[in-house]
Amino acid sequence: MSVVGLGTWQLGADWGVVLEDDALAVLDAAADAGVTFFDTADVYGDGRSEQLIGRFLKSRQGEGLMVATKLGRRLPQLPENYTLANFREWTDRSRRNLGVDRLDLVQLHCPPTAVYSSDEVFDALDTLVEEGRTAAYGVSVETCAEALTAIARPGVASVQIILNPFRLKPLDEVLPAAEKAGVGIIARVPLASGLLSGKYTKETLFGADDHRTYNRDGSAFDQGETFSGVDFVTGVEAADEFARLAPPGATSAQTALRWIVQQPGVTTVIPGARSPEQARANAETAALPPLSPQTLHAVQDIYDRRLRAQVHSRW
Ligand SMILES: NC(=O)c1ccc[n+]([C@@H]2O[C@H](COP(=O)([O-])OP(=O)(O)OC[C@H]3O[C@@H](n4cnc5c(N)ncnc54)[C@H](OP(=O)(O)O)[C@@H]3O)[C@@H](O)[C@H]2O)c1
């Protein structure tokens, strides 16, 4: 799979309205630029993101494209809802939406922490593989502690986690543990919801239907999912400093993605894109040269000075 993939939360909801043709244009632009890995979830737009990807897959058969979806958020977030019967029902729906017999990868969608310690849940996931509903399963986590618990499970193929220049904690233990166990790392929210593009100012406003307005304080879902949990003003100031590290010919967003793909243990990074131009620019990152040791040091320094105190102990 490509080291730069595409996140498709934007094609469902929570980021304002996206028209169907525009969504398909983003998917096509990514694939044309070499992206072969697409991340979605059964709840993005209540299945709309999966259905759009299904249409897209139909038009690009034989290209070896891989789609990861997620399950677990169609019912209240209670451990007792993570049953084999529900998993079967949800994966059947995702298979229909995507138009495939077998899913490539299905991920638990940031379940309650207790779910990671449940043998029954992981037995049920093994059963989905045995039944041919999915080729493999993984987890999407909120915290490093959850990631480490999941990596210790033998059947877990991948861990999706927030990792970007404003979220360095996974470097401490999660990436080394994943590499040792042969577990794939899918780096999500790689641009800190767009902050790392360096294009926002303290005055920037987002739409009322955009999670960057309504989830800043974590009232809709985990606070860490919006701007990586960094307070917006702090993030804009840190992003201004980060943008100055971009090497000639690379944008700030590309520098952030390049930083992620060169961390040992990262399998792929899944930036969300709202236009074909963004999708193409992000895919181009795969061909950029590695960042210098001085730049890596400067990224660490920005994090330590401006962000560590806000986020490091939380996720
Ligand atoms: N719980 C979970 O499992 C979970 C949670 C969150 C995300 N995810 C996955 O991770 C994916 C990525 O995370 P994300 O979409 O939340 O955040 P992200 O990738 O950090 O940020 C996406 C935003 O960055 C901006 N952007 C993207 N490419 C750009 C470019 N080349 N130049 C300038 N700006 C650019 C756009 O902002 P503008 O809209 O302002 O242009 C875009 O909406 C999601 O799509 C989803 O697949 C999973």
Q: Which two tokens stand for residue 224?
A: 């860490």
Q: Which two tokens stand for residue 237?
A: 């100031």
Q: Which two tokens stand for residue 156?
A: 């877990």
Mean of pLDDT values over 43-49: 93
State the helix-helix crossing angle for 20-32 and 276-284, rounded to 10 degrees: 20
- Phi and psi torsions of 250, nearest 5°: -115, 145
Measured in angstroms, how far is the CA atom of residue 297 from the centroid of ligand 1?
25
Q: Which two tokens stand for residue 116?
A: 């990671």
Q: From 8, 9, 163, 212, give the residue whose CB has the most ligand 1 atoms within 8 Å, as the site to mutate.
A: 9
DSSP secondary structure letters along 101-168: SSBSEEEEES--GGGGG-HHHHHHHHHHHHTTSBS-EEEE-SSHHHHHHHHTSTTEEEEEEE-BTTB-
- Cα separation, 258 vs 244, whole angstroms: 15
- How far does CA 4 lie from the centroid of its chain? 11
CA atoms within 13 A on the CB side of 2: 27
Answer whether 73 contacts ligand 1 (Cβ < 6 A). no
Measured in angstroms, how far is the CA atom of residue 235 from the centroid of ligand 1?
15
**Of 149, 142, 184, whose CA–CA distance to 167 is shortest?**
142
Answer whether 39 contacts ligand 1 (Cβ < 6 A). yes
Contact 128, 155 (CB under 8 A): no
Helix (H) or strand (E) holding 172: none
82: DSSP letter: -
DSSP secondary structure letters along 182-217: T-EEEEESTTGGGGGGT---TT----TTBHHHHTTT
Answer whether 212 contacts ligand 1 (Cβ < 6 A). no
Measured in angstroms, how far is the CA atom of residue 93 from the centroid of ligand 1?
25
Answer whether 160 contacts ligand 1 (Cβ < 6 A). yes
Mean of pLDDT values over 168-175: 98
Q: 272 burial class (0-12, 13-18, 19+ CB within 10 angstroms)? A: buried
For 117-157, what is each residue's pLDDT tens digit? Answer: 999 999 999 999 999 999 999 999 999 999 999 999 999 99
Contact 273, 10 (CB under 8 A): yes
Mean of pLDDT values over 62-67: 96
Q: Which two tokens stand for residue 103?
A: 């899913």
Measured in angstroms, how far is the CA atom of residue 53 from the centroid of ligand 1?
17
Measured in angstroms, how far is the CA atom of residue 164 from the centroid of ligand 1?
12
Answer whether 71 contacts ligand 1 (Cβ < 6 A). no
Q: Is the pLDDT confidence value at 14 over 90?
A: no
Q: Which two tokens stand for residue 287?
A: 């061909």
The domain segmentation of the chain, as residue ranges, is 6-311
pLDDT at 16: 66
Mean pLDDT across the chain:
96
Contact 113, 146 (CB under 8 A): yes
Helix (H) or strand (E) holding 179: helix 174-181
Q: Is the pLDDT confidence value at 56 over 70?
A: yes
Measured in angstroms, how far is the CA atom of residue 9 from the centroid of ligand 1?
8
CATH code of 6-311, in short, is: 3.20.20.100
Answer whether 103 contacts ligand 1 (Cβ < 6 A). no
| Dihedral sign of CA atoms 115, 120, 123, 125 in order | negative
For 258-273, what is each residue's pLDDT tens digit? Answer: 999 999 999 999 999 9
Q: Give residue for tokens 């993605």.
A: 257
For 86-127, what is each residue's pLDDT tens digit? Answer: 999 999 999 999 999 999 999 999 999 999 999 999 999 999
Specify the residue with its C-alpha closest to ligand 1, atom 37: 194
Answer whether 270 contacts ligand 1 (Cβ < 6 A). yes
Q: From 44, 143, 274, give the residue whose CB has the most ligand 1 atoms within 8 Å, as the site to mutate.
A: 274
Answer whether 45 contacts ligand 1 (Cβ < 6 A). no
Answer whether 7 contacts ligand 1 (Cβ < 6 A). yes
Answer whether 215 contacts ligand 1 (Cβ < 6 A). no
Measured in angstroms, how far is the CA atom of residue 118 from the centroid of ligand 1?
31
pLDDT at 15: 67
